[in-house]
Amino acid sequence: MHQYILASLLLTLSLSAQADTLTLNDIKAQNGVQLSLDDLKQLMPSAKVTHYTSTGNTRNWSNDSDGEFVASSYNPTTRIMSQVHGTWQISNDGTYCVTLKWGRGPDENWCRYIFKVGEKYFGVKSLTDTSGAHQFEFSK
């Protein structure tokens, strides 16, 4: 019984470590498909979004049709939940772009190419194989 628990724990830790170091090359190896500009235009408006950051935070928001949203962010280390206003858009280069207006400190601005692997989505900053990939969830 203890061996089973230990094996499960080691597998979980291994998968967590992989999630932290996932790259575009890993996404491609899993037959990941990049979403086109048209795909993004279909998926993103009114989508409910969950974004998992590299620091372990989980953020949730809904893409409003006016390009704005209010996100909640949870930091599991500090157990602090916060809210932030943001905007979203789809860029002509086929990226999903987000600005988070923290109010304290600089705004957070980023754009990500979105790839789909099975039922999971991943965002990458650039199309180089070593670009880090972070998981997203999109639903209507």
Residue 117 CA to residue 2 CA, distance in Å, equals 34
How do residues 74-100 score in pLDDT, each as one tens digit? 999 999 999 999 999 999 999 999 999
Domains and CATH numbers, the chain: 2-139 (2.40.128)
Question: 19 vs 6, which has greater pLDDT?
Answer: 19
Tens of pLDDT, residue by residue over 17-70, are: 444 589 999 999 999 999 999 999 999 999 999 999 888 899 999 999 999 999
Residue 72 near residue 57, CB atoms below 8 Å = no
Q: How far apart are CA 128 and CA 19, in angstroms?
A: 18
pLDDT of residue 20: 53
**Does pLDDT of 5 surpass 60?**
no
**H-type alpha helices, 21-123:** 24-29, 37-43
Residues in the chain: 140
d(CA 10, CA 14): 6
Q: What is the DSSP letter of 45?
A: T
Least trusted range by pLDDT, from 26-30, 91-95, 103-107, 121-125: 103-107
